[in-house]
Amino acid sequence: MATLLHIDSSVLPSEASSSRSVTAAFRKTWEEQHPQGAVIYRDLAADPVPHITADAWSAGYTAPAERTPEQSAAFAERAVLIEELEQADAVLIGAPMYNFSIPSTLKAWLDSVLLLGRTAGETPSAQGTPALVVASRGGSYAPGTPREGYEFVQNYLEAVLRGTLGLDLDFIVPELTMAPRNPAMSELVPLFEASRKRAFEDATLKAKELAERLAA
């Protein structure tokens, strides 16, 4: 029985959020392939993870018997998030671009699950776990575009999810999502529509491929 850890971080509801819509399409196909499977779901907009504190951080490098009550309480919250990551057979993350980077709520989750000597270091505890990030954005930051240098979502998540946590990382990138709502981008609507169509197709295909991979 496979377990999917599904994380959404968009502040928008599903019908208005490109990242939520695409992660939902992936999850729907995943659940069809794994009717007896489990899904751990975290909506970081509705139920934010607390930003890391000095007690939560220092507890990670303090022996349990030596922690203060404050450290123990703070680390207990981190431990739940870390264990969810470690238990997952696959990870699905919705990561819209806000002001050229990821939502602060997603950064708070990452700060909690990154723990040197456990999830990070020479042998990360979730190493090799397949992870798919739906990195939506209002414009385009692809190589060769005028704003290529402003792309800090994929670059950052490559470093953290693949380079530090050791996850087997893949991306779906729905772009130009502002085109239907911004008159100045009206000529880009066909490109938006093509990107959106491709994102949903990729979500369905990747969910099926991953299901087959885990069942093998």
Mean pLDDT estimate for the chain = 95
pLDDT band at 26 (very low <50, low <70, confident <90, very high): very high
Which among 127, 130, 125, 126 is positioned nearest to 92, based on CA atoms?
A: 130
Amino acid at 71: Q
pLDDT band at 15 (very low <50, low <70, confident <90, very high): confident
Are the CB atoms for 200 and 163 separated by under 8 Å? no
Which among 41, 51, 40 is positioned nearest to 14, based on CA atoms?
A: 41
> Rounded to whole angstroms, how far apart are CA atoms 73 and 55?
9
Are the CB atoms for 116 and 154 separated by under 8 Å? no
pLDDT at residue number 150: 92
> Rounded to whole angstroms, how far apart are CA atoms 67 and 62?
6
Residues 6+ apart with CB under 8 A from 74: 53, 55, 56, 59
What is the separation of C-alpha 173 from the centre of its chain, rounded to a whole number of angstroms?
A: 12
Asked whether the predicted pLDDT for residue 216 surpasses 80, the reply is no
Amino acid at 125: S
What is the maximum alpha-carbon separation in the chain?
62
Bigger pLDDT: 93 or 16?
93
Give 59: exposed, middle or buried? Use CB within 10 Å, 0-12, 13-18, 19+: buried
Asked whether the predicted pLDDT for residue 213 surpasses 80, the reply is yes
pLDDT at residue number 61: 93
> Rounded to whole angstroms, how far apart are CA atoms 208 and 32?
9
Which among 85, 77, 92 is positioned nearest to 28, based on CA atoms?
A: 92
Percentage of the residues of the chain whose pLDDT score is greater than 90 = 90
Bigger pLDDT: 188 or 216?
188
Asked whether the predicted pLDDT for residue 159 surpasses 80, the reply is yes
pLDDT tens column, 137-153: 999 999 989 999 999 99
